Each structure stands twice: as C-alpha cells, then as structure tokens.
Amino acid sequence: MDKAQFDLTSAQMHMSPDPEDLTALGIPAEAIAKLMGDPSQGTRLARQYDRTSLQTLALVAPALDAAGNCVVEIFSEDKPILLGTIVGADGWIVTKASDLGEKLTVVLPDGNSLEAKVIGKDQATDLALLKVEAQGLSAAQFSNDSPLGGWLASPVRDPNSPAVGVVSIAARPIPKEFAHFFGNTRVILGLATAPDSCTVEIVSPGMPAEKAGLEVGDVVLAINGKPFTDPGALVARVKQANPGETLTLKIRRGGKVLELKPVLGEAKTVDETQHGIGEEDGIAAGKLSQRRTDFPLAIQHDAAVWAEECGGPLINLQGKTVGINIARYDQVCAFAIPAELVEKTIAKLREKAHDNIDVKHSQPAK
C-alpha cells in the first residue's frame, strides 16, 4: 500500500507490488506469478486494486479458472447491454430477459462475434434463452452448493476485476414490493385518463407513454389483448407489470385502431423511515437494474455486479455456477436466480421452443 497510487478520476488504486510484498501478504506462489504477469500462468489477476483486494483475488482465482470460459458479452445494436452464461456447448446461452434489445450479437470468450436469436423468455425469473451457431463451447457447471456466508465470485466485463462477495441470504422469494434499505419500486407509464373513461387526458413528457407515441385524446381499448372500459381496472393492470416490461396497447385514435408498445419505467415510493435512492447513491451502487424484484426464488449476495453485467454466472469456490445474476438492487444487494431454478427454466424454454417448431412444421402448406 505504501507503493500504491490512487487515481481520483477512476477511483481506482494502482499497485505494482514486488513478489516479496505479495509473499508477506500470504498470497500463494502461483497467484503471485499471475499478479506479476507470468505468461505461462495467465493474467486473470490484475495489478489494479478496484472492486476486490489482491488477497481476495488470489482466493477466488482458482475457482474462476475452474469455472472455465463460460461467460459471453451481449450487444444490442453494437452497444454492450448484458453478460450471458453459456449453458450448452452447441451455442445455448442464458441471460437477463427484460434488458435485452434488438439485433443481438454475442461476443464469445475467444473474441468471435455471432448473431444471437432469442429462443424464449420466462417472465417469472426474468431469464432469456439465446442461441448462437457455435460448437465446442465451455458450458457452466451448475451446483446447488451456496451456503449462507459462503464466498462467491462473478466474472464481469473486465476479467481482471471480478466481483467478489458472500451469500447474504439463502435463496428465497423476492416479492415485487421488496424493500431492503430503500423505498419500494413501482412501475410508471406516464399517462392519466378521464375519471369515467379510458380516454387519455394527460401524457407526461419524457415518460414511456409519450416515447411510445400515445397522445391526448387516445382511447385505450386493451392491454396485452385484454379489453378495458374501466380506468380503475386499467391502472390496476399497469401496476401488476414490472419496470422494463413491454405492454401492447390497443388504442383508438379518431377512426383508427392502433397498436403501441410502451416499455414501462420505474418510480419510487418512500415511507417515513426510509430514504430514496438519490444521485449519490446511484453513483455508489453503479447502475441499478430496471427490474430488480418480483422473483420466485433468488440468492441475495453483496458482490458488486452492475446492471449491465447481469446474466453472468455466480460461482462458488469450487468453480461451480450456483446461480445467474439477475438484478442489481442497491449498493450492497444483488440477486441471482439459483442454479436449480435456472436449469428448470432452461428446460422449459427449450421444450416450449421445440413444441412451437413442431406446431409450425405440422401446419399444412398454403
């Protein structure tokens, strides 16, 4: 630490330790070789003190090596949006569903970039199954061994700076109105209707309704195929949705019936004993996930996995994947869908996709 330099612009500690320094810290010789850049040992560990201390990096390096190259980067229209976890050697990848965009490409561990097809999405877990045309990939090895207080590591975009933490709370249901330290989350559409009809009277600037093209005077006829005539029922249906969810609205504008697809945003509710997440908190936590609650089962951990790094694996010290990171909730809380539920969801999505293909093939030619 005497030799360290702190970079104020990046809030990172730059270190160039001597082997003697690392030995004094109790770091094993093989880890020292990696820290010092021995090409025969690889360079998974960094010389940069960022999210994780050098001692902790040395602890988790063997686990990350054992986990193999099962992490991919996901891009939407050339912008990085998520990580993904390889779950099949022949190109099957799982990631977070609600943050997926259009024109998806996946960068494999070897650097190759491939077009990705969305095979299916699961609303309950917020998992999506993707497929790329590839063979011989290194798939994650799942395990249910994630005891309370156990050490965990999550590979992130920078392989030299994995997120490391512990199991804070064992897998349990995460309700939609979950409150950790801060206010509960709720969805926002950004419109108001007349008191006695579904006619739009207000469209808030910059909100999802305006972005989707709704206008004052539009009459909302249905949401996701369900008709509405009562504005109260309309509001109740929106409240049942999740931030980041896309709604299909059928509206009447003049003599035309249109279909619009707003993507719901997030608002905050805060009670008298809690504090909302302000700008400073957001900076400290990194970007938070739009949908970060309402999961049937999730492991809570404290590794610093940002929202754009969800979809990657949560790995124990044996190098097994115990979950898929699904949400960054706040500064000290992240959620991962546990391995057993991930495997069941993958099987369900693959079976559903197979059934759909069979149905299409069975249709008579026109």
List pLDDT tens digits, range 20-62: 666 766 666 666 665 555 444 333 333 344 455 666 677 788 8
- Nearest-angstrom CA–CA distance, 304 and 156: 10
If residue 105 lies in a helix (H) or strand (E), which one and from where to where? strand 104-107
Which parts of the chain fold into alpha helices (H)?
19-24, 29-35, 54-67, 208-212, 231-239, 279-285, 339-362
User: What is the sign, positive or negative, of the torsion defined by CA atoms of 156, 158, 164, 168?
Assistant: negative
The predicted pLDDT at position 114 comes to 95
Q: How many Å separate Cα 196 from the centre of its chain?
A: 39
Q: What is the pLDDT of residue 335?
A: 95
pLDDT of residue 14: 52
Sign of the CA dihedral running 321, 322, 324, 328:
negative
How far is 206 from 204, CA to CA, in rounded Å?
Answer: 6
- Cα distance between residue 9 and residue 12, in whole Å: 8
Domain layout of the chain by residue ranges:
71-178+283-360, 185-267
Give the CATH H-level superfamily of domain 185-267.
Answer: PDZ domain (2.30.42.10)
Beta carbons of 98 and 242 less than 8 angstroms apart: yes
Query: What is the distance between the terminal CA atoms of the chain, rounded to a whole angstrom?
Result: 73
Instruction: Please tell me the pTM assigned to this model.
Output: 0.62
Residues 6+ apart with CB under 8 A from 59: 151, 164, 317
Cα distance between residue 311 and residue 325, in whole Å = 5
Architecture of the domain delimited by 71-178+283-360: Beta Barrel (2.40)
CB contact at 8 A, 114 and 106:
yes
Query: DSSP label at 78?
Result: T
Half-sphere CA count of 168, side-chain side, radius 13 A = 15
Nearest-angstrom CA–CA distance, 77 and 366? 35
* Residues in Cβ contact with 230 at an 8 Å cutoff, skipping those fewer than 6 apart: 198
Amino acid identity at 157 = R
pLDDT recorded at residue 53: 61
- Write the DSSP symbol of residue 256: E
C-alpha distances (whole Å) from 116 to each of 79, 122, 129, 183, 263 are: 14, 17, 10, 36, 22
pLDDT of residue 270: 41
pLDDT of res. 125: 96
Dihedral of CA 170/174/178/182: which sign? positive
Report the b/e string of 186-218 with b at 16+ CB within 10 A: bbbbbbebeeeebebeebeeebbbbebebeeeb
Note the pLDDT of residue 148.
83
* 41 torsion bin: left (phi>0), alpha (psi -120 to 50), beta (else): alpha
Instruction: Specify the pLDDT at position 229.
Output: 83
Q: Which portions of the chain are predicted below pLDDT 50?
A: 1-4, 6-13, 38-50, 181-184, 269-285, 358-366
